[in-house]
Amino acid sequence: MNKLQGFYELKRIGIPAAPWNVFTGEELLDPSLLWTIRVATKYGNDINLPRAIGVTAEEAKKKGQEFLEHFKKNGIVIYYPYFIALKSGILETRENMTIIESVKDDLWNLTTKGYREVTVIIDKRTKEKLYNGSKYFLNKKEINQLLLCSSRIRVKYKDYIFDKSSIIAEWSYACSTDIEDKPIGEKYLVFYECREISHKYK
């Protein structure tokens, strides 16, 4: 599953996903918001693809046109309103356990800088939780919401997960922003990437 497939899968699974749409160049983007615009390819390497994050509507449209010129034959350009991440992490769903890794602010702090506030391992059968790090970084409501999403992922991918594999989903608790990059509204959970991981011995 590459990024393009992952975008569609997040919608299909029914967990809270970034409200993305396909960019065609004809959009009228709300100038009172900041925007994120990204590329997803159909084939080949989809790592480190170009993106513009937290840019004005004018800049998003300009970047979107550039991305379309380069990637229209092998992918799509998507856009969605920019959000500020308050907490981020990775949700790994296995057959008999769920693993939640979490970090303050953006997921970049975990995946690139290697920072981590807490890892929570939850046994599917006993519901027992094992904490490594700050036990109270994620509250009970947040953990339960992530576990609910993990349950939905496990149902949708039960055949794949049963075959000694897991599904990784990237998430944030976030706030929407205004044009000045100030948070507005309530905190919400959002997923923005999904992929398969095999644990088979080769």
CATH code for the domain in which residue 96 is found: 3.30.470.20
Report how many domains make up the chain: 2
Q: How far apart are CA 198 and CA 202, in angstroms?
A: 10
Tell me: pLDDT of 200 over 70: no
CA distance 29 to 32: 9
The packing angle between helices 140-156 and 3-13, to 10°, is 110
| pLDDT for residue 31 | 96
Most confident of 39-53, 69-83, 105-119: 105-119
136 DSSP assignment: T
* This prediction's pTM: 0.87
Region 58-75: mean pLDDT is 92
Residue 36 CA neighbour count, 13 Å, CB half: 15
Is 154 in contact with 169 (CB distance < 8 Å)? no
165 with 93, same domain: the answer is yes
Q: Reduced to 3 states, what is the DSSP secondary structure of residue 127?
A: coil
Q: Pick from 29, 62, 81: which residue ends a domain?
A: 81
Separation CA 68–CA 63 (nearest Å) = 9
Residues 77, 132: one domain?
no
Same domain, 39 and 75: yes
Q: Are residues 93 and 190 located together in one domain of the fold?
A: yes
Is residue 10 situated within a structural domain?
Answer: no
3-state secondary structure of 197: strand
Q: 39: domain range?
A: 17-81
Using an 8 Å Cβ cutoff, are 189 and 86 in contact?
no
Residue 37 domain flag: yes
Q: Indicate whether 85 pLDDT > 50.
A: yes
State the pLDDT at residue 45: 58
Helix (H, G, I), strand (E, B) or coil at 102: strand
**Whether residues 109 and 126 fall in one domain:** yes
Residues 21 and 96 in one domain: no
Q: What pLDDT is recorded for position 201?
A: 47
Domain boundary among 62, 81, 100: 81
> What is the share, in percent, of the chain residues with pLDDT greater than 90?
71
Helix (H) or strand (E) holding 82: none
User: pLDDT for 127-184, tens place per residue?
Assistant: 999 999 999 999 999 999 999 999 999 998 888 787 778 999 999 999 999 999 999 9
Residues in CB range of 145: below 8 A, 6 or more apart: 189
**Six-digit token string for 168:** 């990784």
Render the burial of 169-189: b for 16+ CB within 10 Å, e for the rest.
bbbbbbbbbeeeeeeeeeeeb
